[in-house]
Each structure stands twice: as structure tokens, then as C-alpha cells.
Amino acid sequence: MFPAFKRFFLLLLVSVFFFLLITVLKTWCSGGDFSSLIPSFLGKSGTNLSEGFTPSEKSALNLSDVEMISRLNQEYARLTQAVVPSVVSINTAGVRIEKEMNFFGHNFVRSYPTKGQGSGVIISKEGHVITNHHVIAGQEKISITLHDGKSYNATMVGEDPLLDIAVIKIASNETFVPLKLGDSSKVEVGQLVFAIGNPFGLGETVTQGIISAKERSLSDNQRDLFQTDAAINPGNSGGPLVNVNGEIIGINVAIYSRDRNNPSFQGVGFSIPSNEVREALEQIIQRGRPIRGYLGVQMSDLNPAVRQKLGYVRNDGSVVLNTTPGAPAEVAGLKSSDVVVSYDGEPVKDTTHLISLVQSSIIGKKVKLDVWRKDRLVTLEATITEAISPPVYEISMDQKAKDNIEILRGIGVEVRDLTDTERALNGTGVLVTRILVTSKANGILEPGDLIVSLNNSRISSSNEFYYHLVVSAAMRSTSLGIVRAGISLHINLPKL
């Protein structure tokens, strides 16, 4: 037993010896410290060794080396500090009423609470705030949160749904710090701009970019927009786009995104120029509503097929589809297939340009229209009247309203307004949300269809759609221009 124990002990000593020898050799070859092998003899703890750490005490560059960038950095900060206190966050609350049908086929009304968020900018010491119309449309309660965290209720002053501008007022007698509306006619492509707002409800956010383009158009109603690469996201709507002087040169209104379900900024945002905002603001403050010129004519751009059919060889101008009975266009003598080439002495580029000229005309002004008609030029004179928005369709208990309800129930199509992101993707129109099973629209329209026109007249809101649908469906079949799965279609709803 003892010889066996001696052999085992000897083998253990040899193993330990070679283990220590190999460890020493490895430490020596790697340039290590031999004292680390016996920390206990040196009063050190092997588990609490201090690391060598020497941070830099010197900046990579001196301020004198980047003097221009340093000044620019300070100026950006000063600009932000001066502008941000005038930008507000807007929270809204309301109730959405929907007609639904139960299992037994009985109609009933259900209400759903709605909430919304957006941005705005203070433009008067009295607390007037400019924002987008779609931020507050249909909402019963509007609250404003300032830069310092104070919250106030706000009331509606006036709105311009076509331009997508609304003016609200903070319910307080305090004095506020406004921003100046700049001159958007002086804006140049490439100039620096800053977008301030409340994206995703995160609170005040500042992004910087340039003016990427001017005179962009999302629809006939929103034209001549500024395009910018300053990051704009959902919630920025209604916030200001400012220049390096801290002046408002635009009101942020929309983004462009290919993903409808998850819209996000992709380097393309749009803002309403400040001069258009100022014009709408002045009219709202003075009269409570915007005032626009009205000609009463449905127009269309000249594509190659139309030019060939008419025998019109020029590329400019806008062709008349039809005129409204009794409107200034009909009184002046405009006819279908006329091409308006000049308006009050200004050459007409296209339909959007003509609409802009008409809407900005002074009410009561007599304007000359140069018209191409069957290979000859004709000069007409029209007196511009005020454009009156169609009345909002509301349910009341008089007989006319009851008739309208029956017409709408018979057609059986329910629509909603487009969001700002959907407008950026699709332009103008309304979205079909529901079709009643026993209605005329069943099998013709589908939920998700985008209705862009009714009887060749463009549609910009659900109220406008319902109003014209009631008038049309009671007398004749109704022609609708729709977009379904990216394909443009024309369909007809039968007369009731």
C-alpha cells in the first residue's frame, strides 16, 4: 500500500511542477508580470486588479481650427432658443358617431371617443395660434401645451379646409410670445430651414434641412407647397417651418411615405407657404372665414389625347369640361371644349395655375379671358363672385333632412376624410369605410376604395361628397372616379 501511495504522490508532484513550469513560460513569452502569479505575497487581491485607464484631457481640435462651425453651432442654438417658446403642442378630443346594423338588421347609432395630436405656432400676443385644419377638424375639445409645460384650453376662431389652415385662440388673458410670418416669395431652393413640432407626441422637436423644391402640389386645393428634407413626422402637422431669421415661412402639412400602415419620414415633407397662410389668416380674423374668387367652371389639363381630339397644338392652357348654370363662366360665354390660355392678362400654365388665379381674384372684379375656340382666339369678360363652400350635411328633423337621410341610406356608402399622410400619397379624395348590404352601392363600391371625383368634379372632403351625392342621386345616376388597389376606375351608382 505504501509503495503505491508513494508512486501516486510522486506523480502528483511531477504534474504540479510541469503545470507551474508551463504557466511561467506562458507568462514570460507573453511579456506578463510574474508578480501576478503570486498576488497574495504582494498584498493584492487577484479579483480586484486595477485597470490602466488614462483619459484624454485635450480636445481633438481647437475652437480656432473650427471657428466657423463653432459659430454656426452657437447660432443654431440661439435660433432654437428664440423660436421654440412660440411653438405649441395641440391635443384634441371628440366623439365620432357611426351608424351600425345589428344581427336583426336594425340600424343604431354608436359613439366612439376620438383623440388627436398635432402642433401649432403662436402668431399674436393675444394668443392666436395657427395649425392645420385636419388637426382640429371635428374635435370638441382643444388644449394647448406651451414650451414651459403650461396647458390651456383653446377655442376656434376660423378655418380654411381647402388650404388646410385653422386659427384657434388660447383661452387666457396673458400676453404670449408670437413668431413673425415671413415673406415666402423670397424663399429659395437650397436655403436652410428648421421644422419645429410635436412628432409622435414626444414634445417639442427641432429638425434642420433645406428647401428641396417649390411649387409642389398634392391636390387642386393644396398647391405651390414647399418641399423640404427637414424631418417631419406624424404630429408635426401645424408646426412652423422657419428660416434663419426665426420667421415662419411655412406651416408643415404633410409627409410623403409609401407605407400607408407605418407612415414615417423619408426625406420628403411639405409646408404651406406663409404668404398663403397670411392671406387666409387676415380673412379669418376679419370675417371669420376665407374669401375666394369663383368662376364656376370644371376644367381639365391638356394631355396628348385631348389636344389631338381638339386639334390644339400648344402645351399650356386648361380645357373647359362644363360650366355651372348661372355662374360667371356661363354668363361670360365659356363653352365646353374651350381652352383658357390667358386669365386677366397672365398666361395660364395648367388647370392648377388657373384655379390659383381665380381663387386669388378680388370679388367683383371683371377679368378678361383669352380663349382658344376651334382654331381661333376669343376674348371674353367674366365678373368674379365669391366661392361659397357647400353646406355641411347634418342630421336634423325637418322633412328635407329626412329625405336626405333616406337618399344616403339608399345609396349606402360611408366615407371618411383622408389623413395628412394619405393626402400626401393620394392627393384629394375620400375613403370608403363601409357599404350597407341592402344598398345600391353594394357590389359596386368596396371598403378601401378611394373616391376622387363625383360627376367629374373633384372631391376633397366627406361633407362635400355627401352634399353632392344627395343632389345627384335624387335626379340621375352618379358617376364616380375611384382608385382601387392602385388602379383608376370610373363607376356609376344608379339613381334612387
Query: Domain segments of the chain: what residues?
Result: 2-42, 82-291, 293-386, 399-493
- Give catalytic status of residue 148 as yes or no: no
pLDDT at residue 71 tops 60:
yes
Instruction: Point out the least confidently predicted range of 108-122, 327-341, 346-360.
Output: 108-122
Instruction: Point out the least confidently predicted range of 126-130, 144-148, 211-215, 370-374.
Output: 211-215
Instruction: Point out the least confidently predicted range of 49-63, 118-132, 257-271, 327-341.
Output: 257-271
Give the pLDDT mean for 219-236.
73
The fourth-level CATH superfamily of domain 293-386 is PDZ domain (2.30.42.10)
Residue with the larger pLDDT of the pair 161 and 196: 196
Give the pLDDT mean for 327-353.
89
Confidence of residue 342 (pLDDT cuts 50, 70, 90): very high
pLDDT at residue 315 tops 80:
yes
Global model pTM greater than 0.75:
no
pLDDT at residue 46 tops 70:
no
Confidence of residue 36 (pLDDT cuts 50, 70, 90): low
pLDDT at residue 321 tops 70:
yes
Closest CA to 225 of 288, 271, 159: 271
pLDDT of residue 440: 86
pLDDT of residue 229: 87
pLDDT of residue 96: 62
Confidence of residue 460 (pLDDT cuts 50, 70, 90): confident
Instruction: Point out the least confidently predicted range of 181-190, 198-207, 269-278.
Output: 198-207
**293-386 and 399-493: identical CATH topology:** yes
Confidence of residue 469 (pLDDT cuts 50, 70, 90): confident
Using a pLDDT cut of 90, give the percent of the chain over it.
24
Give the pLDDT mean for 380-384.
93
Which numeric CATH code is attached to 399-493?
Answer: 2.30.42.10
Residue with the larger pLDDT of the pair 13 and 311: 311
Instruction: Point out the least confidently predicted range of 36-40, 87-91, 132-136.
Output: 36-40
pLDDT at residue 390 tops 50:
no
Cα torsion for 305, 353, 333, 473, to the nearest 10°? 70
Confidence of residue 398 (pLDDT cuts 50, 70, 90): very low
Instruction: Point out the least confidently predicted range of 133-142, 149-158, 295-304, 381-390.
Output: 381-390
Confidence of residue 256 (pLDDT cuts 50, 70, 90): low
pLDDT of residue 32: 57
**CA 108, CA 112: separation in Å to the nearest integer?**
13
Backbone conformation region of residue 324, classed left if phi is above 0, alpha if psi is from -120 to 50, else beta: beta
| Residue of 89, 212, 219, 237 marked active site | 237
- Give catalytic status of residue 134 as yes or no: yes
pLDDT of residue 389: 45
pLDDT of residue 426: 62
Q: Looking at the chain, how many residues does it have? A: 496
Confidence of residue 72 (pLDDT cuts 50, 70, 90): confident
Give the pLDDT mean for 441-448.
88
pLDDT of residue 340: 93
Confidence of residue 425 (pLDDT cuts 50, 70, 90): low
| HSE-CB for 186 with a 13 A CA cutoff | 11
pLDDT of residue 254: 73
| Residue of 164, 229, 338, 420 marked active site | 164
pLDDT of residue 61: 79
- Give catalytic status of residue 344 as yes or no: no
pLDDT of residue 37: 56
Give the pLDDT mean for 416-423.
71
**Mean pLDDT over each residue of the chain, to the nearest integer:** 79
Which numeric CATH code is attached to 82-291?
Answer: 2.40.10.120
| Residue of 128, 133, 134, 353 marked active site | 134
**CA 496, CA 486: separation in Å to the nearest integer?**
29
